[in-house]
Amino acid sequence: MEKHEGIIYLEDGSVFKGKAFGFTGTAVGELVFNTSMTGYQEILTDPSYKGQIINLTYPLIGNYGISDIDNESPKIHAFGLVIKDLCENPSNSNCVKTLDQWLREQKVPGVYDVDSRQITKLVRKHGTVKCLISTEGISIKKAKVLCEAGSLRGDWMKEVATIDKYVIEPDKGFKEKPLNVAVLDFGVKGNILNCLKARNCRLTVYPYGTSAEEILAGRPDGVFLTNGPGDPEEAVEAIEEVRKLIDLKNLPMFGICMGHQVLALAFGGKTYKLKYGHRGANHGVYDKDTKRSYITSQNHGYAVKYESVILRGMEITHLNLNDGTVEGMEHRDLPIFSVQFHPEASAGPNDTAYLFDKFVKMMKEDQDA
């Protein structure tokens, strides 16, 4: 395999030259880093990474190849991949292709053999950075022009969510009647749906911006707000419909990541952009309720402002142990709660899967009431 040069151009003018892999092409996006040491396939197929170029801090990537069973959505959403050391001979009994092959098929450019740690530190220093990745041998001058011309979008959730409504039946083997859950899709990860259907939920997944009336017409037992990419403040339609849902009917509601932020905004709270976000599988989160801490999977660039929601009837339930940012909230009176992190893991630890049980319990109690 002949190695082209691959380049990473940052809007501050920094250039990293490495080797190209994957698709031969060029993309502009927001440069982010993820510190998880496993799960590159899950990360790349997580719709929340739409529009982003991912720099993985773990240097040896592609070791176990690509499998048929680890996708979080049918395709790669990230715009590019930056790593230190590419594995060309993966080894795992589930491996069906190499990372390089897969990126080529999915038309995603990759660059390796760059100082990915230095890039991480730059992102840490600058915060959000616009960046260009190219594997087609363009000049730095051209890279600069293209990078400047490219724009970062905040409304990706509207694009990655499903276009048509669809239904997922619960896993087999339950005797009880399933719970009907309306899933408001902002770019859902497959494992969220798996976690719910494994708990006897029948899922109706709605496209972005579906009206509250239509959702309620489906007579759901609870509403789930998914993860998704972009700036939550740009999800104007969704915020409005969620506000209506809350006003019309006190349904149990559970939000994750973008869903959590949309919920906060629907309640009149505020969100803000973190300097460089939380992306990884190792953040400790404190649960005020159980007085315990859990290791969580994280992927978010925005966060909910603490004070902005406690005045709106919310209790902060979870805090990030490192920076004290809001990681979860619950309404004092209504059966509504949400978390910033990813209890569905994938990639990452399963410590907080108990939150799905909590949602199910809420729906059952609501039915009984």
Report, as residue numbers or ranges, the catalytic residues.
257, 342, 344
**Residue 222 CB partners (closer than 8 Å, separation 6+):** 179, 180, 181, 182, 251, 252, 253, 254, 359, 362, 363, 366
- Residue closer to other proteins by CB (options 36, 210) is 36
Query: In 10 A of CB 173, how many CB atoms?
Result: 7
Q: Kindly identify the residues of this chain, within the stretch 218-277, that bind other proteins according to CB under 8 A.
A: none
**Strand-strand pairing, 26-34 and 129-134:** antiparallel
Q: Return the residue of 284, 312, 315, 316 that touches other proteins, per CB under 8 A.
A: 284
152 vs 139: CA distance, rounded Å: 22
132 vs 148: CA distance, rounded Å: 9
- Residue closer to other proteins by CB (options 85, 148) is 85
Q: Return the residue of 21, 29, 31, 41 that touches other proteins, per CB under 8 A.
A: 41
181 vs 187: CA distance, rounded Å: 17
Residue 87 interacting with other proteins (CB under 8 A): yes
- Count of residues that interact with other proteins, criterion CB under 8 A: 57
Binding part of the chain for other proteins, among 67-75, 211-219, 306-314, 333-341 by CB under 8 A, reads 67-75
Residue 343 interacting with other proteins (CB under 8 A): no
99 vs 22: CA distance, rounded Å: 8
Binding part of the chain for other proteins, among 59-67, 74-82, 239-247, 253-261 by CB under 8 A, reads 59-67
Nearest to 168 by CA among 216, 206, 204, 207: 204
> Any bridge partners for residue 315, and if so which?
330
- Residue closer to other proteins by CB (options 322, 367) is 322
Residue 367 interacting with other proteins (CB under 8 A): no
> Any bridge partners for residue 286, and if so which?
293, 319
Query: In 10 A of CB 118, how many CB atoms?
Result: 12
Compute the least distance from the CB of residue 84 to other proteins, in Å: 6
Binding part of the chain for other proteins, among 22-30, 58-66, 102-110, 239-247 by CB under 8 A, reads 58-66
Where do we find the tokens 């339950």? 174
Q: Return the residue of 45, 226, 308, 346 that touches other proteins, per CB under 8 A.
A: 346
User: Omega of the bond prior to 347 within 30 degrees of 0, cis?
Assistant: yes
Q: Return the residue of 12, 115, 213, 214 that touches other proteins, per CB under 8 A.
A: 115
- Residue closer to other proteins by CB (options 98, 204) is 98
Q: Return the residue of 9, 21, 49, 58 that touches other proteins, per CB under 8 A.
A: 58
198 vs 173: CA distance, rounded Å: 10
Asked if residues 320 and 278 have their Cβ atoms less than 8 Å apart, the reply is yes
Interface with other proteins by CB under 8 A: which residues? 16, 33, 35-39, 41-42, 57-60, 63-64, 67, 69-70, 84-85, 87-94, 114-118, 120-121, 124, 280-284, 286, 291-295, 321-323, 345-351
